[in-house]
Amino acid sequence: MEFKIQQVPERKVAGFHMVGPWEKTVHQGFEQLALWVKSQKITGSEWLAVYYDNPDEVPAEKLRCDTVLSVPEDFVVPENSEGVITTRIEAGLYAVARARVDDNDFAKPWNQFFDSLAAGESYQLTGKPCFEQYLNDGSESGVWDIDMYVPVADKR
């Protein structure tokens, strides 16, 4: 899988922190996020899922993720926004790859991406949270276009 290395700016984000199997919690988190965005008339430029754990090392019921959207620096969570958090995605050096997800199989492109990163000799994983940005709404079609971001450090 082709990827590029780029410096990514910090993002302030707002949304929901979820714990459990990602195939359930990410979907549930985005449903909650969509309802919150609609009810509060929130505008955000990017819809993101942030992944904190390695599913090969952490049991599914303990996997953590945030389903969020990027918000302006001066954003304040409105009243009646139960469960909504604000947090930041760190700035830094990231490997970035674009993928098309069919049949909601998000694991497949991520696995391919990590295999490609492991095969390279110039960069190593940092262990910091990864995230994906949704480029379209595939909830009806089951086809999603995403950009995947993995924090890396130069091996040289």
Question: pLDDT per residue over 48-79, tens digit each?
Answer: 999 999 999 999 999 999 999 999 999 999 99
pTM of the full structure: 0.95
Q: Is the pLDDT of residue 107 over 80?
A: yes
Contacts of 66 (CB under 8 A, 6+ apart): 13, 15, 16, 17, 18, 29, 48, 49, 50, 52, 85, 87
Mean pLDDT of the chain: 94
For residue 140, what pLDDT band results from cuts at 50, 70 and 90?
A: confident
